[in-house]
Amino acid sequence: MADAAIQLIDIDKRFGAVHANRSINLSVEKGTIHGIIGENGAGKSTLMSIIYGFYQADSGEIRVDGRPASITDPSAAIAAGIGMVHQHFMLVPNFTVVENVMLGAEKSPFLGAGIAKVRAELKRLEREHALDVDPDAVVEELPVGRQQRVEILKSLYRGADILILDEPTGVLTPAEADHLFAVLRHLRDEGKTIILITHKLREIMAVTDAVSVMRRGELVATRRTAETNVAELAELMVGRRVLLTVDKGSAAPREVRLSVEGLRVRDSRGVVMVDDVSLNLRAGEIVGIAGVAGNGQSELIEALAGIRATEAGRVALMGRELGPQEMTDPAGLRAAGLAHVPEDRHHMGLVLPFEENENAVLGYQREARFARGPLLDRAAMRRDAAEKIAAYDIRPPDCRLKTANFSGGNQQKIVLSREMERDPDVLLIGQPTRGVDVGAIEFIHRRIVEMRDAGKAILLVSVELDEIRALSDRILVMFAGRIVGERGPDAGEGELGLLMAGIEEREAAE
C-alpha cells in the first residue's frame, strides 16, 4: 500500500514453546490512529516490541513508508521515524523534563549549549502539538498525565512520525485520558501515525480510525472503527460472546466484618492523605470507593492491609479491635482472615524474577501444605499453581515461567488467584482489572460477585467509575482524604463526578 506508514508482512515470533506471533500481516495507514486490541497474552506487545526493535522476528518483513526496514534495536526504530511510549514510563524521576528528553540524544559533549537548543525545540513542539509541560520541571514532581506527555515529547524530539502507545490510559484519571485523546487527535491531524495498544474497547471506539484484533498470536480481523461496535470487537477478541455488564442480584448484608473509625494516615512526605475516615464493611456486600486518583484511596487500603502505619483511629476486624502492632502486621492480618490485592502488582503484589508458582504462594509459603520444616515443598507449590492457572486461565500455562515474562493482565490474574483462593473473610481489592482484557474482566467481575454471594466482605478501590458502579452495593466517594458522600449503585455518573470533584449537588446548582 502506497499510503501505508508501516506494513508487517508474515511476521512470526516464538519464545521456546510459546508461539507469540503467527504470520502477522498488518498495514497501518498514514495519518490515522490505528488500535491494536486482544486478550492478555494475545501477542500485541510482542508485535509492537518487534516494530520498535526490542525483539527481532524469526521471519517476516517490516516496511516503513513502503521501503524494507531493518529494525535491529530501538535506535534503528528511532532512525526509521518510530517512537514508543511505554506502559511503564522510561523516565529518570529526578531529572528535569529537558534532561529526560535529551538523554541519549545529546549530540554534543557540551551540554550547556545543547540544553538551550532542546528547551527551544521543546517549546516549539509544545505549541505545535498542544503539549503543555514545563521544560525545567523535575519529572517525579509532575502528575502522571504530564509525565506521559514528556514521553510523547521525547519521541517527537527524536523525529518520530509513527508513535506507538502501549496501554497509555492504564495510569491516567478519566480527565487525563480525555486530554491524551485530544493530543492524539491533534497529532493525527498534523500527519503523525498513531498505533494504540489498549484493552479498553470504549477507548478504541472513541479515538481510533481503524482497529485490528489479535487472538492467541494471530491477527483475526481489521475493521474501520465506524463500521464496528464494542460487542463485535469483544467477540472477536475472545472467540465467543462476552457479557459486557455485571450480572448480579441484590446484596444480603449481614454482620460487620471490618469497622473503621476516625482513621488518619500520612504518606511518606508527611502529608495527611486519609483524614478522619469511618466506614463499616459487612459480610455479603461490596463497598466501592470512588475518587480521582491521589485522594487517599490508595493510602486507605494500604493502611487497612497493614502495610502503611496509621496516625489515629480504630480498626476492628471480625468484631475484635486491633492493637497498634497488629495494625502493622500484614502476615497477622492475613492469618486473621483478611486478604489484599494491591493496586500496584509490580511493586507490591509480585516479585517479577520469581517463577509463577513462587508468586502464587507469596505470603502464604510457610503454611504447612507448602513447607517441610524450614524448606519449601516445591512439588506442592507447583501443584497448587497448576490448579490456579487452570481456574483463572493464566497464559501461558507454565508455572515454571518467570513472572516477568507474563503479560500484565496475566500477572494480575496470578495475584487475584493467590488472594481470592485463600477464602478470606474480608477482601481488599485495589484496581482489580487494571491492564486486563475484556474477557478477563468478565471473569474477574463474576468471581468478585461470587465471593460476595458466598458471604465475603469486599472493599473495592478502582479509578474506573463504570466498574465501581457495576460492582458496588454501596459507593463511598473520597475527596482530599475524606469520605464526602455515600450513594447506592444506581447513582448517576454526573452525581458521583461532582462528589469526586469535591462539589456537593447543592453547590453545583447555585
Q: Please name which of 201, 204, 170, 199 lies closest in space to residue 88, comparing C-alpha atoms.
A: 170
Cell numbers representing residue 132 in the block: 503543555
Outline where 454-504 has alpha helix (H).
465-471, 493-500
* Co-location of 442 and 405 in the same domain: no
Residue 197 belongs to a domain: yes
The DSSP code sequence of 93-121 is: TTSBHHHHHHTT---SS-HHHHHHHHHHH
Task: Please classify residue 222 by burial: count the beta carbons closer than 10 Å to its beta carbon, then call 0-12 exposed, 13-18 middle and 19+ buried.
Answer: middle
pLDDT at 508: 40
Residue 30 belongs to a domain: yes
What one-letter code names the amino acid at 438? V
* Co-location of 367 and 498 in the same domain: no
pLDDT at 108: 57
Residue 82's H or E segment, with its range, is strand 82-85
CA–CA dist 200, 180 (Å, integer): 14
Residues 462 and 468: beta-carbon distance below 8 Å: yes
pLDDT at 257: 98
Residues 122 and 158: beta-carbon distance below 8 Å: no
* Co-location of 86 and 205 in the same domain: yes
Last residue of a domain, one of 391, 422, 453: 422
* Co-location of 352 and 489 in the same domain: no
Residue 52 belongs to a domain: yes
* Co-location of 500 and 417 in the same domain: no
pLDDT at 62: 96
* Co-location of 365 and 328 in the same domain: no
Residues 275 and 296: beta-carbon distance below 8 Å: yes
Residue 342 belongs to a domain: no
Q: Please name which of 204, 217, 243, 206 lies closest in space to residue 40, comparing C-alpha atoms.
A: 217
What is the total count of domains within the chain? 3
Cell numbers representing residue 463 in the block: 479509578
Q: Please name which of 491, 482, 435, 504 lies closest in space to residue 463, comparing C-alpha atoms.
A: 435
pLDDT at 373: 86
pTM over 0.95: no
Strand arrangement, sheet containing 4-15? 18-29, 4-15, 59-64, 67-68
Residues 329 and 306: beta-carbon distance below 8 Å: yes
* Co-location of 218 and 251 in the same domain: no
Residues 51 and 71: beta-carbon distance below 8 Å: yes
* Co-location of 203 and 310 in the same domain: no
The residue range of the domain holding 380 is 348-422
Kindly report the length of the chain.
510
Nearest-10 crossing angle of helices 378-392, 408-420: 110
CATH number at residue 285: 3.40.50.300
Outline where 130-287 has alpha helix (H).
144-157, 174-189, 201-207, 230-238
CA–CA dist 169, 149 (Å, integer): 12
Residue 454 belongs to a domain: yes
Residue 285 belongs to a domain: yes
pLDDT at 504: 66
Residue 408 belongs to a domain: yes
* Co-location of 144 and 193 in the same domain: yes
Beta bridge partners of 4: 29
Last residue of a domain, one of 422, 449, 467: 422
| Cα atoms in the 13 Å half-sphere on the side-chain side of 252 | 6
Last residue of a domain, one of 380, 397, 422: 422
CA–CA dist 491, 496 (Å, integer): 7
pLDDT at 465: 86
| Terminal Cα distance for the chain, rounded | 57
Residue 343 belongs to a domain: no
Beta bridge partners of 26: 8
CA–CA dist 126, 55 (Å, integer): 31
Query: How far are the Cα atoms of 252, 293, 331, 356, 432 from residue 348, in angstroms, in the given order?
Result: 32, 18, 14, 15, 14
* Co-location of 409 and 310 in the same domain: no
Cell numbers representing residue 114 in the block: 545543547
pLDDT tens digits in sequence order for the chain, 510 residues long: 458 999 999 999 998 888 999 999 999 999 999 999 988 778 898 999 999 999 999 999 999 999 999 999 999 999 999 999 887 778 898 998 888 888 876 665 555 556 778 888 888 888 887 788 888 889 888 877 788 888 898 899 888 999 999 888 866 766 778 888 998 999 999 999 999 998 788 889 999 999 999 998 999 999 999 999 998 998 898 887 766 678 889 999 999 999 999 999 998 889 999 999 999 999 999 999 998 878 999 999 999 999 999 999 999 999 999 999 999 999 999 999 999 999 989 889 999 999 999 999 999 999 999 988 889 999 999 999 999 999 998 988 999 999 998 877 889 999 999 999 999 999 999 999 887 777 788 889 999 999 999 999 999 999 888 899 999 999 999 999 999 999 998 898 888 888 988 886 444 444
* Co-location of 411 and 495 in the same domain: no
* Co-location of 354 and 495 in the same domain: no
> Which sign, positive or negative, has the C-alpha torsion 168, 169, 172, 174?
positive
